[in-house]
Homo-oligomer: A and B are copies of this chain.
Amino acid sequence: MMYENEKRVADARAKVFKALGHPTRCFIVELLTKKTLSVSELTEAVNADVSTVSKHLSILKQAGVLTDNKQGSKVIYSLVCPCIMDFIYCIDDAIVKDAEKGISCILPGAKIERKTTGN
């Protein structure tokens, strides 16, 4: 963390990870891989206050994970880069491997369903 550039790179990466580091936000990202959704649709899906969801969306957008698109009075959110999901699957693999090796059972009893390439 000595040099400026290192610091900047670490900050930029951490910002993205931090944005994804909340269960609701992870879930939102997953939902958006299937199709674009409005704030109210997302709100219903995640079962939280609209204002809370709006703030989560703002954090994800700020981090560059999502974009929004105004359609009438609705705001439609979508993934900037669907590759983010590949990336989440990579995490899943690591989690599952961990569980198998008994190193640390992060995910007790949960089933992770992984999509095949087609979407």
Contact = CB atoms under 8 A, between A and B. Distances in A.
Contacts of A2: 45, 47
Interface residues on A, range: 35 or more
A107 B8 contact: yes
B91 A13 contact: yes
> Interface of chain A, helix or strand or loop or mixed?
helix
Nearest to A81: B94
Given A1-B24, A7-B23, 16 more contacts: A6-B27, A8-B109, A9-B107, A10-B24, A12-B107, A13-B20, A13-B95, A16-B95, A18-B21, A63-B106, A64-B94, A64-B95, A67-B103, A80-B103, A84-B90, A87-B90
25 contacts: A2-B45, A8-B110, A9-B107, A9-B111, A10-B23, A11-B23, A12-B106, A12-B107, A12-B110, A13-B23, A13-B26, A13-B92, A14-B20, A16-B94, A16-B95, A17-B18, A17-B20, A64-B104, A64-B106, A80-B103, A81-B93, A81-B97, A84-B94, A87-B87, A87-B90
